[in-house]
A and B are shown apart, each in its own frame.
Chain A
Amino acid sequence: MKGSLIILAFFVAGVITGIYRFLPGQIFQTDYSLYALYLLMFLVGIGIGSNKKALTLIKEVNFKILLVPLSVITGTYIGVSVFSLVQSNLNLPDSLAVGSGFGYYSLSSVLITELSNETLGVIALLSNITREIITLLLTPVFARYFGKLAPIASGGATAMDTTLPVITKYIGSDYAIISVFSGVVLTILVPFLIEIIL
């Protein structure tokens, strides 16, 4: 819990900095997140490489690893379908399209804005950012009560990059390969699924 609060504090500090532009305008033009991500990927790579169990796991799991992204898609669609039934603002296709972002907010929001309308695009942006934030904040809780695949499911497409470090921290480096695999498969599928639905 302490870890989540520290993370939340950094995020809130960032939002305030962004709103009031405490930092010079230059910082908004360069996407520093990308470099931070590169650094993270490097560090996570070290974590995977130094874990001898990782290779053993991928040999044992083989076909079972495919079940992970499949169950993320199925579970997400079931949840989103229930959502479209309990409220009246968003219909089923719109809800499914937003859900198909799997946390990949940059691509899904642009695609949905193009294929549908801007409002739905902004919903996709907010919804998928929220998915990433929920995963970053609640991974310790998910891992504890819903098994080692739960943080990977919650992370969706982000399980391969932005949420990978926190996921790895709570479910272990041996599951990092499954997390990356699931994230990669979902990231590739995002544009196809959105296009099929809309």
Chain B
Amino acid sequence: MSLGIIIGWIFHSRKKFLKLTGYLTNWAIYLLLFLLGISVGANEKIIANFDKIGFQAISLTLFAVGGSILFSWAVYHIFFRKK
């Protein structure tokens, strides 16, 4: 990542280069998600238990994410937004 920062700093004025980087970033995201999917699908422990404990896990996550988003929303409005 440090190497990327240095390269980005050197080439920051070249629009075509930046456009290509954005395009590659998208495809790297797709690749990573595909690979995450493979490891989830190939893990028998996850697939076998998904119906039983999956619901618990997902509902807990919804509360965790909901709480953190609402709290950070307040922090954003109080400390960050007025700049």
Contacts and interface: CB of A to CB of B under 8 A. Distances in A.
B2 A45 contact: yes
B68 A156 contact: yes
A56 B75 CA distance: 20
A98 interface: yes
B43 to A, nearest CB: 8
A46 B75 CA distance: 29
A82 B6 CA distance: 45
Contacts of A71: 68, 71-72, 74-75
B34 A14 contact: yes
A194 interface: no
Nearest to A79: B67
Contact of A149 (B2, B26, B60, B80): B80
Given A71-B72, A95-B60, A99-B64, A18 B38 contact: yes
Given A11-B34, A17-B37, A126 B57 contact: yes
| Interface size grouping (class) on chain B | 35 or more
Given A48-B5, A154-B68, A67 B38 contact: no
B47 to A, nearest CB: 7
B61 A127 contact: yes
Interface in B28-76: 28-43, 45-47, 49-50, 53-54, 56-76
B28 A78 contact: no
> Which 10 residue pairs spanning A and B have beta carbons closest together?
A14-B37, A79-B67, A45-B4, A18-B41, A49-B8, A75-B71, A75-B68, A126-B57, A49-B5, A153-B72
Interface of A: 3, 6-7, 10-21, 23, 27-28, 32-33, 36-37, 39-52, 60-61, 64, 67-68, 71-72, 74-80, 82-83, 87, 89-90, 95, 98-99, 119, 122-136, 142, 146-150, 152-154, 156, 162, 165-166, 169
